[in-house]
C-alpha cells in the first residue's frame, strides 16, 4: 500500500471516530431525555486510561512475542529439515509439539480460562488478568499462521540466499520480515485485546485485581449503575482516544516502513 493511501485511510478513520463520538453524544439526548450531564471527574478518566493501556499493552507484547517464537520455531524446523532431511524429529516437533500447543490454546477458550482463573485463587489476580487476556481469545491462531506464512515465504524466496551471499546475516533479514509482518496485524490485535479487556477488568475486580480501567468503567456504568449512559459516554471517549493514539502511531510506523522498503 502506498503512503498516500495510508494517509487517506487514516483520515477516513478519523472521520469515523468523530462520527462515533458525535453519534453517541446526540444519542444521549434521546436516551436520557435531559441531555448529557457528565458528572464524573475527567481526571479520573486519565488514570483509568493508563490502567487499561498498561494491561492491554503488556498483553499485546507478550502475545506477539509468543506468536513470533512459535512461528520462528516452526520456520527454523522447516529450514533444518530442508538441510538435514531428518523427518522423524521434524514431524515430532512441528507435527505434534506446536499443533498440540495450539490445540491446548483453543481448548482453553474464554470460559475455561475464567473458570481456571477463578478456581485458582492462589494465583495473583493481576497475573491472572494478564494470562486471561493473552490466552482466552483465539487471536494467537490468527497471528501465528500470518507470521509463519511470511517467514516461510521469505525462506523459500531468493532474497535470503541473495542476502547471505551479499554478506548480510540471514537473522537480520528474518528479524526485518518478522517486524514488518507483526506491524501489519498489530493494530487489529491491539483493538481486539482492548475489546477482551472488558471481560477481564470486570471479572477480576472481585479477586482484587488493580486493573479497573476504561473497560471496567464502561461496563460498570451500564450494568452496576443501572444504565448511566453519561458515565458510559466518558469511558467511550477515553476508549476512542486510546484507539486514535494507537492508530496514529501505527499509521506513522507503517508509512516509515513503506517508504524504506
Partner 1 sequence: MDKISTHYFNDPLLKFIQRIQWIPAIVPVLYLICFFNPFVFNTIFVPLCNTHPEYIEKFINGGVVYILPCFCAITITLCLCIFFASLTFFFQNHYFISSAISRLPNLLLETFPQIFWLYIISFTIDTSNNEYYIKWYIIIAITYSPIIIDQLNSRINDLREKNFILAETMVGQNRFVIFFRDIVWYYCIDIMVVQSVYLISSIISMEACMAFLMRISPDNSSSLGTLLNTLYFADIENKWTDSFLAMITNISTLFWLTLIVIISTIFTLNKIASSLEQKWTLK
SS3 of 123-155: the string is CCHHHHHHHHHHHCCCCHHHHHHHHHHHHHHHH
Q: Site for partner 1 (CB under 8 A): which residue of 35, 112, 162, 169?
A: 112
Please name which of 182, 221, 231, 226 lies closest in space to residue 198, comparing C-alpha atoms: 221
Measure the CA–CA gap between 69 and 15, rounded to whole angstroms: 37
Please name which of 2, 5, 3, 7 lies closest in space to residue 247, comparing C-alpha atoms: 7
Largest separation between any pair of C-alpha atoms in the chain: 74
Helix axis angle, 140-156 to 42-84, nearest 10°: 40
Q: Is 12 in the site for partner 1 (CB under 8 A)?
A: yes
Q: Is 183 in the site for partner 1 (CB under 8 A)?
A: no
Nearest approach in angstroms of CB 200 to partner 1 is: 10
Please name which of 137, 117, 136 lies closest in space to residue 127, comparing C-alpha atoms: 117
Residues 209-248 that bind partner 1 (CB under 8 A): 215, 218-219, 222-223, 227, 239-240, 243, 247
Nearest approach in angstroms of CB 256 to partner 1 is: 22
Q: Site for partner 1 (CB under 8 A): which residue of 18, 69, 91, 175?
A: 91
Q: Is 109 in the site for partner 1 (CB under 8 A)?
A: yes
Residues that bind partner 1 (CB under 8 A): 12-13, 16-17, 20, 78, 81-82, 87, 91, 95-96, 99, 103, 106-107, 109-112, 114-116, 118-122, 156, 188, 191-192, 194-196, 198-199, 202-203, 206-207, 215, 218-219, 222-223, 227, 239-240, 243, 247
Amino acid at each position: 500500500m502506498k503512503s498516500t493511501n495510508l494517509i487517506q485511510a487514516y483520515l477516513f478513520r478519523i472521520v469515523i471516530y468523530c462520527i462515533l463520538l458525535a453519534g453517541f453524544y446526540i444519542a444521549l439526548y434521546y436516551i436520557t431525555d435531559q441531555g448529557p450531564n457528565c458528572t464524573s471527574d475527567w481526571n479520573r478518566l486519565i488514570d483509568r486510561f493508563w490502567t487499561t493501556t498498561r494491561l492491554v499493552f503488556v498483553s499485546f507484547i507478550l502475545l506477539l512475542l509468543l506468536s513470533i517464537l512459535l512461528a520462528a520455531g516452526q520456520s527454523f524446523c522447516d529450514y533444518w529439515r530442508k538441510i538435514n532431511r531428518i523427518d522423524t524429529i521434524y514431524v515430532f516437533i512441528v507435527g505434534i509439539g506446536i499443533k498440540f500447543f495450539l490445540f491446548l490454546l483453543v481448548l482453553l477458550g474464554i470460559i475455561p480460562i475464567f473458570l481456571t482463573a477463578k478456581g485458582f485463587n492462589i494465583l495473583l489476580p493481576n497475573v491472572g488478568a494478564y494470562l486471561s487476556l493473552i490466552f482466552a481469545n483465539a487471536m494467537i491462531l490468527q497471528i501465528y499462521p500470518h507470521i509463519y506464512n511470511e517467514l516461510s515465504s521469505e525462506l523459500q524466496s531468493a532474497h535470503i540466499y541473495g542476502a547471505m551471499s551479499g554478506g548480510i546475516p540471514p537473522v537480520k533479514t528474518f528479524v526485518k520480515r518478522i517486524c514488518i509482518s507483526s506491524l501489519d496485524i498489530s493494530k487489529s490485535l491491539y483493538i481486539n485485546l482492548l475489546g477482551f479487556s472488558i471481560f477481564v477488568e470486570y471479572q477480576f475486580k472481585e479477586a482484587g485485581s488493580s486493573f479497573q480501567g476504561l473497560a471496567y468503567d464502561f461496563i460498570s456504568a451500564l450494568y452496576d449503575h443501572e444504565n448511566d449512559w453519561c458515565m458510559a459516554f466518558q469511558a467511550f471517549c477515553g476508549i476512542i482516544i486510546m484507539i486514535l493514539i494507537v492508530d496514529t502511531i501505527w499509521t506513522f510506523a507503517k508509512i516509515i516502513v513503506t517508504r524504506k522498503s
